[in-house]
A = this chain, B = another copy of it.
Amino acid sequence: MNNGRFAISLHILTLLDKANGEVLSSDYIAGSININPVLVRKELSNLRNHGMVLSKEGKNGGSYLAKSAQNITLGEIYNSVRQNSLLGNLKNTPNPQCPVGKQINKHLDNLYVDTENALIRQLSVQTLADFSRKFD
């Protein structure tokens, strides 16, 4: 129930970190990830809304990090792209006549919150700078 948005965002941010303040165009970024530039611009828009990126319009425009890579945790990136629950939701409402069906969504929700918190805690151990450093 997740798409590739986390990977795309992390890829974008790693490139921006490596660019060291120079702006990168969405076309250039798309070429590295090998996806459509419009998708890159959509993710950039999201990252901008979450304060991680700034963009410059017009000729010679492009994007760059809004803050130091040391101050961006992978948990923060995850949070910016998360949308639907980590472990997947049924779309059908379970049978309200059944004692289990009636209550399961509530219990699943609680479970998912705890689980996702553990995941975010783990992701937050690492910053974008840490991740980016792994590349030669």
Contacts and interface: CB of A to CB of B under 8 A. Distances in A.
17 contacts: A1-B4, A4-B89, A7-B89, A10-B108, A31-B95, A32-B98, A33-B94, A34-B90, A34-B92, A34-B101, A78-B87, A99-B136, A103-B136, A104-B135, A107-B131, A115-B122, A119-B122
Interface string A94-136: 1100111101100110010011001101110010000100111
A88 interface: yes
Query: Chain A contact residues: over half helix, strand or loop, or mixed?
Result: helix
Copies in the complex: 2
A92 B31 contact: no
Classify chain A: how many residues form its interface, as a range. 35 or more
